[in-house]
Amino acid sequence: MQREVGTLPLAPALRARLAAAGFQTAQELLDTGPCGLSKEIGISKEEALEALQVVRQECHGDAARTAGGSGATRKCTALELLEEEQTQGFIITFCSALDNILGGGVQLTKITEICGAPGVGKTQLCMQLAVDVQIPECFGGVAGEAVFIDTEGSFMVDRVVDIAAACVQHCHLIAEAQQEEEHGKALETFSLENILSHIYYFRCHDYTELLAQVYLLPEFLSQHSKVRLVVIDGIAFPFRHDFEDLSLRTRLLNGLAQQLIIIANDHKSAVVLTNQMTTRIGQSQSTLVPALGESWGHAATVRLIFHWDNGQRLATLYKSPSQKESTIAYHITSHGFRDVQPPAVTHSREGTELNPRKRPRTEEEKQ
């Protein structure tokens, strides 16, 4: 009831008039009533009535929220955040070197950006992640679904089929080695058709369609609450031509980044974006830098740069809040995104390797 007039969701012109007339809290507005209000600030009675209805609804909503405990602003301690982060799942990439430098895999609730020259493997990693997000929990996955927004037309479903088939095969091998009941049950629903039917594909032809699609995403994600990954491949393509006014582009990209951060947080999903590289001409030489400008560099939480060195593909973790900068080598095989050499795997530890969330038994006993 003591809500300030400036925070109410009314039209800005109306708010300005109320402030000029001296109204400060919502309670004052409600006390005045519609006739008094319309006389004091010079609006029609219908408008005054509408405004008061909005105010009443807001205050009602506020009261319900404070009674319920969780409001628009949530307070929690850093310890609670730490515990939440440690139980957070990761989406594995099947390249253990890459998973290691990322701290377990692609993190949920964060935006990860992948930059690289054409042909280096950005779309391949996106397709791999769209399959890996669906791995059942007993195999170390997050058992989610994926949204794939394609702006370049590089989503070739035959390739996704190869990747998905290899992933199912991998899980079958683990199940055979470990012979646990939950593995068998999970494998019943983890089939090629199932995986394909849970990748939701959107094709956007220009930046207007992309903006519209991102406006509709929160509603889509509420309806499909199992989605844990949103991929936009690529974010640079629709924004790099057709812009006379670069400040408009910066503003649109910033707005897009903010919406994606809210989506990642509210729906506990990972957002993965792919970006192009462009040449920056320096004093004596030119270097490749990620496209879309300096201010776009702030949008993503984690930034990976893929590049070539003498025929070997390398991935560099360029920006991360919790992991240090490092470079690893990776391969793209017919099965998808993989390590350069298969990691040495012993039967007894296979379970823990694929499941970074399960802390080893000894630590718990100590506590």
Partner 1 sequence: MDWDQFDLNPKTIAALKKADIKSVKEILNLSGADLQRLMKLSSADIQCLLKTVSHTLRRNSMLTALQLYQDKDHFTSQHQKLSLGCSVLDSLLKGGIPLVGITELAGESSAGKTQIGLQLCLCVQYPYKYGGLESGAVYICTEDVFPSKRLQQLIDQQHKLRAGVPAEIIRKIRFGNNIFVEQAADLDTFQQCITRRLSLLLARGMVRLVVIDSMAALFRCEFGPAESALKARYLQTFGAQLHSLSTQFRTPIMCINQVTDAVSESEAAQCSCRVVGSRVTPALGITWSNQLLMRLMVSRVSVPGHPPGAAPHCAGSMRTLSVVFAPHLPPSFCYYTVQLEGVKGIK
Contact status: 327 vs partner 1 (CB under 8 A): no
Helix (H, G, I), strand (E, B) or coil at 63: helix
Helix (H, G, I), strand (E, B) or coil at 33: helix
Q: Which of 124, 269, 274, 301 binds partner 1 (CB under 8 A)?
A: 124
Among 121, 115, 164, 200, residue whose Cα is nearest residue 335 = 164
Please name the residue that has the structure tokens 């929220």.
65
Q: Quickly list DSSP for 156-191.
A: -HHHHHHHHHHHHHHHHHHHHHH--HHHHHHHHH--
Q: Which is nearer to partner 1, 52 or 161 (by Cβ)?
A: 161
Residue pair 330/114 in contact (Cβ under 8 Å)? The answer is no
Q: Which of 188, 219, 363, 364 binds partner 1 (CB under 8 A)?
A: 219
Query: At its nearest, how many Å lie between partner 1 and the CB of residue 131?
Result: 9
Q: Which of 19, 187, 288, 329 binds partner 1 (CB under 8 A)?
A: 288
Burial of 70 from C-beta contacts in 10 A (0-12 / 13-18 / 19+): exposed
Q: Which of 39, 45, 251, 358 binds partner 1 (CB under 8 A)?
A: 251
Residues 7-46 that bind partner 1 (CB under 8 A): 9-13
Query: At its nearest, how many Å lie between partner 1 and the CB of residue 54?
Result: 7
Residues 173-202 that bind partner 1 (CB under 8 A): 193, 195-202
Query: At its nearest, how many Å lie between partner 1 and the CB of residue 212?
Result: 4
Q: Which two tokens stand for residue 269?
A: 């999903």
Among 99, 101, 151, 153, residue whose Cα is nearest residue 129 = 99
Query: At its nearest, how many Å lie between partner 1 and the CB of residue 238?
Result: 8
Angle at the Cα of 96 (from 92 to 100), degrees rounded to 5? 85
Residues 299-318 that bind partner 1 (CB under 8 A): 307-311
Query: At its nearest, how many Å lie between partner 1 and the CB of residue 197?
Result: 4
Contact status: 157 vs partner 1 (CB under 8 A): yes
DSSP E strands in the chain: the ranges are 90-91, 106-107, 111-116, 145-150, 199-203, 227-233, 270-275, 277-281, 286-290, 302-309, 312-319, 327-333, 336-339
Q: Which of 67, 76, 77, 241 binds partner 1 (CB under 8 A)?
A: 241
Interacting residues with partner 1 (CB under 8 A) = 9-13, 54, 117-120, 123-124, 130, 148, 152-161, 193, 195-203, 205-206, 208-209, 211-213, 215-216, 219-220, 236-237, 240-242, 248, 251-252, 255, 276-279, 281, 288, 307-311, 332, 334
